[in-house]
Structure 1
Amino acid sequence: MLDIYEVEINGRVTTLQLSEADAKSRGLTAANKAKTAPINKTRNRTRNKAV
């Protein structure tokens, strides 16, 4: 299974999708794993208007 890691390359933060073996070979740890995306809080459509 692939995990998503945040890595700084040339001063910019980039996300990489790596296996555990690849992450270990690059020296990445659980602290480098990307945070989960926030829950989408979009507004619902109004129900009292015709669409």
Structure 2
Amino acid sequence: MKSLWLSQAGLDTLDNTVALCPNCHRKMHSLNLEEDIIKLRDKVKNYNYK
């Protein structure tokens, strides 16, 4: 399932949250590059929560 960013009427939940530095956050919103979105989703998907 593809989630929506909060700025795009997405849910304001922890499951829909990623911590980014200010520069990366700005880049994600300004450029909205598909390869950045895929890279971020892969990192989150493969993160080992312990």
Same fold (TM over 0.5): no
Larger radius of gyration: 1
Q: Answer 1 or 2: higher relative contact order, Cα 8 Å, separation at least 6.
A: 1
Q: Structure 2 length normalisation: TM-score? A: 0.29
Higher helix share: 2
Higher strand share: 1
